[in-house]
Chain A
């Protein structure tokens, strides 16, 4: 193996407190590692990367990395990122959100950012719970799960993030898991380089707030579950409905090549300028 850990250290802010704030075994740390490896593999400079994060556990990520970092208000990371990308399309804008951030309070921004196909690389770290605020249910908490606000079990159905983004018009939609870091690296690089709105959902176990209350004794048990239930998408599509139940398909769900909003806008401006020249 290459010396990946030392590479990661090069991208961290050395005056921040490490180890980071995440609980032992939190998938967010693995996703952060993958993010840094991907930025490095693409040869991007720290100066051209802008990370916009929301509020919650995922939002804490922005403090640690030595990019241009913006810690938004809850649910609104995509709106700020949209302003940044349209203002300077040369910047590589990475948006990091949690499930509550992206789909509950920020649900409207999420579907509209996907619809307008703005060129953002969007990571949703889905841990099925509100971690930072103490384990309340989110819009991806599975039916029946116990949380601090569903002490008798979740009664509402959960969102499928991938289906939602695909239906809303995202150009690229993929799902990775914290247990499959190598696969995540590949998908993340594709997410970062794909034109238009590109989404990567990262299934990220939270033992502290979710697992403990839902029959996972240790955080390792959650990763065992992830190892067993994760299925490559091609394989998943061949499964019968019965066998597919409870499985988590990983891979690329949508791969479109529509022009992004900032590209369309550049064309519009070129047209307008040409017209003004003729007048």
Chain B
């Protein structure tokens, strides 16, 4: 979705965080609310200097991460493409509003630059320990899209994808980066705006009195007009009927929640993004995401040199978990290696979808250090 149609654009030397800013502006983001937190603050600073110079861009620094999410949701209701960025502790504070965003189906993007935890943890060190929180952090059953990026160019592309998914599916989208990805500086190409597909939320074309803001539709995604456009409706975090008003009727409750899951599930194949590197004949495949995927890519190349039929499945979509990408490996691949900077969060998903085809090996680091290619290579060569 976010692949450039042709090679064009300007080259810059940028941090991952700066690439997120470029991506957001390309995607049409015109509202940013946030609260400073290491290691995500460069995104906020970038938006602060860039947004006021755009035709309608708004930047506001709020009093905390709760308020930041509230402002982003308000902006989304008012018709803006809106985002915020944070890190672990701030992400925890946002959870209440993430659930609200899912419930009212507000398109918005949250970037979480993961650092070591729990609690204040390791503010300046990388981790990938918020993976399951991104999926299940807010209370109640909900459906959400979680994406990831492993290098600076990908930070830009995945930010655009995050906005496109948010608008298309009317949902909060979480982009999980880690401290290394956000703080790596490298040369990237900022594509020209017309080289990307940019999506906008569906607008109602029916007369206002026909409009039902939470109506069942074929795609499961009702149109969403901005506040003040003549389609007066009610928005609430309470379980609501198709008109948006609170309901306790069992049939309406189940219809709402099932639609909210289905609108994402039914487009699973459009949403599951992963790069397959040397997997066609691989007997052992590394499943990795974020900065660890770069270590893994080198390890796979080195393993190939040593005659090991290794491959890499680089996950760009973490949730909904891209299980069919794994299933396609089964005929030739017997072993999966899941390296990650946590105690084993994505490997839980891998093990969950594994019905015995694979042996799953995990590599876990929680000491604030990156997982090196050598560590992965060692596991790849183990027989």
Contacts and interface: CB of A to CB of B under 8 A. Distances in A.
A80 B52 contact: no
A109 interface: yes
B245 interface: yes
B58 A86 contact: yes
B71 to A, nearest CB: 4
B235 A112 contact: no
B234 A47 contact: no
A112 B75 contact: no
B232 A68 contact: yes
Interface string B40-52: 0000000000001
Interface in B54-88: 55, 57-58, 60, 62-64, 66-80, 82
A72 B69 CA distance: 12
A112 B307 CA distance: 62
A79 B73 CA distance: 9
A90 B228 contact: yes
A71 interface: yes
B176 interface: no
A172 to B, nearest CB: 21
Given A79-B70, A79-B74, A108 B58 contact: no
A66 B236 CA distance: 15
B53 A87 contact: no
A83 B245 contact: no
A63 B245 contact: yes
Contacts of B31: 83, 86-87
A217 B37 CA distance: 53
Interface residues of A, number: 42
A261 B74 CA distance: 16
B12 interface: no
B227 A91 contact: yes
B33 interface: yes
Contact of B228 (A50, A70, A275): A50
Contacts of A87: 31, 58, 74-75, 78-80, 82
A88 B226 contact: yes
B279 to A, nearest CB: 43
Interface string A28-51: 000000000000000000111010
Nearest to B68: A79
A279 B259 CA distance: 50
A73 B58 contact: no
B237 A72 contact: yes
B100 interface: yes
A15 B212 CA distance: 14
Nearest to B74: A83
A193 interface: no
B226 A82 contact: no
A73 B227 contact: no
A272 interface: yes
Given A68-B228, A76-B97, 13 more contacts: A63-B246, A69-B233, A69-B235, A71-B236, A79-B66, A79-B71, A82-B33, A82-B62, A86-B60, A87-B75, A91-B227, A273-B53, A276-B53
**Which 6 residue pairs spanning A and B have beta carbons closest together?**
A83-B74, A79-B70, A87-B78, A83-B71, A71-B236, A80-B74
24 contacts: A68-B233, A69-B233, A71-B237, A72-B237, A78-B70, A79-B68, A79-B74, A80-B71, A80-B77, A82-B67, A83-B71, A83-B73, A83-B75, A83-B78, A84-B77, A87-B31, A87-B79, A88-B227, A90-B228, A91-B227, A108-B64, A109-B70, A268-B52, A276-B53
